[in-house]
Amino acid sequence: MSVKAVDGNVMDHATRLAQQHAPEVQPYGHLVRLPIGLSEAVCRESVQSLNQLLADTITLRDLYKKHHWQALGPTFYQLHVLFDKHAGKQSVLVDAMAERIQMLGGVCLAMAADIAETTLIPRAPKGRDAAPVQIARLLHAHELVLKEARAMARLAAARGDDGTNDLIVSDVIRANEMQVWFLSAHVVDMPRMRAE
Ligand SMILES: [Fe+2]
């Protein structure tokens, strides 16, 4: 089959512009103003809080995925399923927080390296742990998130940022408390077959 020649710029709209480079349009830490009735100072403080909470929540979500994949032992199936369910809910929280940061005119953290240098949750070992150790690590991460979330929620309410306060209280705090309840019920030293 012969290939027909085409006029000079007839292919312009089909040509892929894959290689493009330019400076960032909004560097991290800089705010744009949106007409949401909150001052720049209020938005800046909420963005800072939410980025910390976001980094810790992404880390908690990733801890759940690690333990979901690396679960082992007689409770493998239930923990494998539970950890994945909790990771899914943490992912929903991550999305809500990241989008709230953008709504306030900020720039959200996103990438693993930036999360790693920001999070306050201790780094987990690369290797595999027994189930009780996995659960203890998750409980510690939840408590850290809950303590900072409560402080941040109170400060957001005090400065008049009700949307951020509501997100943290209604979604983050309640979900984390629920997950602590489910997790902690697994680490009691109960007889399995016979009450003693
Ligand atoms: Fe999975």
Q: How many domains does the chain have?
A: 1
Closest C-alpha to 152, from 163, 164, 142, 140: 164
Range of the domain at 105: 28-184
Q: CATH no. for residue 95?
A: 1.20.1260.10
CB-CB contact of 59 with 141 (8 Å): yes
For residue 1, tell me if it sits in a domain: no
DSSP 172: I
- The predicted-structure confidence for 68-97, as pLDDT tens digits, reads as follows 999 999 999 999 999 999 999 999 999 999
CB-CB contact of 67 with 81 (8 Å): no
For residue 125, tell me if it sits in a domain: yes
Is the pLDDT confidence value at 4 over 80? no
What's this model's pTM, rounded to 2 decimal places? 0.93
- The predicted-structure confidence for 118-153, as pLDDT tens digits, reads as follows 999 999 999 999 999 999 999 999 999 999 999 999
Alpha helices in the chain (DSSP H): 40-70, 76-103, 112-118, 131-158, 162-166, 174-184
Residue 154's SS3 state is helix
| 49-58 average pLDDT score | 98
Q: Mean pLDDT across the chain, nearest whole number?
A: 95
Q: How far is the CA of 5 from the centre of ligand 1 (A)?
A: 52
For residue 122, tell me if it sits in a domain: yes
Q: How far is the CA of 44 from the centre of ligand 1 (A)?
A: 37
For residue 23, tell me if it sits in a domain: no
Q: What is the pLDDT of residue 1?
A: 56
For residue 20, tell me if it sits in a domain: no
For residue 3, tell me if it sits in a domain: no
Q: How far is the CA of 101 from the centre of ligand 1 (A)?
A: 29
- The predicted-structure confidence for 36-45, as pLDDT tens digits, reads as follows 999 999 999 9
Q: How far apart are CA 119 and CA 183, in angstroms?
A: 22
- Taken in order 115, 121, 125, 127, the sign of the CA dihedral is negative
